[in-house]
Chain A
């Protein structure tokens, strides 16, 4: 990883994909919960 733009510790593409997938799922869950929760009150 020497010389990479960041210290991002990607060991291979598969790992990078898995990291991205997990992060996106969790982020979307948080966003959906935030908006969905307020929407519940509007119903």
Chain B
């Protein structure tokens, strides 16, 4: 798109003054770039907080028997690990990308609602601390798994209302961010940028934002009903009072399955930028990609009960949810095909962002295939609640969503900081991450198929070898991410000066502004021809 847009930087009225100094710059910021940075830093911190919990989990599972923690604390760790990684790490990471990149990609000067943007972010640290504080309360943190199923979650001690309020706050933050993104995209696109001319990352976030507004209130409603069941005498989910605990499962997964796509669609968007840039070709089938994303988003609303095949539902229900779930393979295959076709006969190069994007492509597809296996209702009766499920969703979320986020960070880091990152270290980071992530999660397929249940601190000795390998992989993967922190700090502090284009004629308006991007960009909208 850079060849179709003109933007005179000398006419930037705001390029000549910098941001406020000191802590006020961050606490009171209404600037989309600063808020984006805060989201990204918060996500990075939470990656290590959630990662520390996975270290506890994998240390306990290193050998059969109880080594380090009691079973209740183990379950608190699995619960908090998931809640923090989903709500505190990967969603804020993509919100950070949205804040930084969407205004620059559509030629807008900022997000449409900058004060609400500040509020959306600053709710997060308080919600995160509140959630973590439950660990220090009587009864500890919730130990029900991130699904918060009653009646188990209602057995949480004093931490229960705090955890529930924290989930509410995280939801409010997400909804406000989603509203901001939709309003920005619908109102602040540069003249000439029609919807179908929008870059894929913007498209994926537009659809993701609609998904957020559609499902976050459902989670909030479910959690509110948990609170009223616990404290106000209602019996929404208690059979003794005429309620139904399975209702909560439906509510949770009506939120939970679109949530999976809320996480993965922005990842699709990022990869859809990186693969064309390093193939030196336009994205193959841009419009088909848009329709595929919209199709995935639609289907995400009618597949939720595949998470609960074993709960006891009519055969017709199983058939419906099995078939609707397998349908998702079609638009997903369109995307995988288009990424591959983009590379076909391209002039490929393999810098770190491309390596992570390709890692995403291969390993997300492995997670997709195991998802298809799980979608088959009769087979799911075998796999349900086993480590096979753990392997499946970790493949989708770690070498899937997280790799895409890391790929995006390397891709745009020169634009953010004005410096090139250390390419050699970036490649080392990729290979360490790829080796260890497979070492961690691939053996979990085998122990799962052999019958090892999830969310247990002890297991039969027959699973010992694969669990040991998995734990070694997890420690290696976690420690490898320290290299990412080092690379980021090194890049922020200095390094080879980045040009405006950074890469070899990459598509997109963001590459028409200098590196680092000035504090204010596009005060006058660029012209899209």
What residues of chain A have their CB less than 8 Å away from a CB belonging to chain B? 1-2, 6-9, 11, 15, 18-19, 22-23, 26-27, 29-31, 33-35, 37-38, 41
Nearest CB in chain B: distance from A16 CB, A: 9
Are A30 and B523 within 8 A (Cβ)?
Answer: no
Residues of B150-194 whose CB lies within 8 A of A: 175, 178-180, 182-183, 186-188
Which residues in B have their C-beta under 8 angstroms from that of A27?
A: 175, 179
Which residues in A have their C-beta under 8 angstroms from that of B221?
A: 34-35, 37-38
Which residues in B have their C-beta under 8 angstroms from that of A26?
A: 178-179, 182-183, 213
Residue of B nearest to A38 (CB): B221
Q: Taking the complex as formed, is B44 at the interface, i.e. its CB lies under 8 A from any CB of chain A?
A: no
User: A33 with B183: in contact, given A8-B110, A9-B108 (CB under 8 Å)?
Assistant: no
Residues of B287-339 whose CB lies within 8 A of A: none
Nearest CB in chain A: distance from B510 CB, A: 17
Are A30 and B187 within 8 A (Cβ)?
Answer: no
Are B224 and A38 within 8 A (Cβ)?
Answer: yes
Which residues in B have their C-beta under 8 angstroms from that of A29?
A: 213
Q: List 29 A-B contacts (CB under 8 A).
A: A1-B109, A7-B30, A7-B520, A8-B115, A9-B108, A9-B110, A9-B523, A15-B187, A19-B112, A19-B113, A22-B183, A23-B112, A23-B113, A23-B179, A26-B183, A26-B213, A30-B179, A30-B216, A33-B213, A34-B220, A34-B221, A35-B221, A37-B218, A37-B221, A38-B221, A38-B224, A41-B225, A41-B236, A41-B247
Q: Taking the complex as formed, is B64 at the interface, i.e. its CB lies under 8 A from any CB of chain A?
A: no
Are B30 and A18 within 8 A (Cβ)?
Answer: no
Which label, helix, strand, loop or mixed, suits the secondary structure of the A interface? helix
Nearest CB in chain B: distance from A23 CB, A: 5
Which residues in B have their C-beta under 8 angstroms from that of A9?
A: 108-110, 112, 114, 188, 523
Residue of A nearest to B524 (CB): A11
Residue of A nearest to B218 (CB): A37
Partner of A6, one of B115, B188, B523: B115
Are B114 and A6 within 8 A (Cβ)?
Answer: yes
Nearest 5 A/B pairs, CB to CB: A34-B217, A9-B109, A33-B217, A37-B221, A26-B179
Which residues in B have their C-beta under 8 angstroms from that of A8?
A: 30, 110, 113-115
C-alpha spacing A33/B255, complex, angstroms? 13
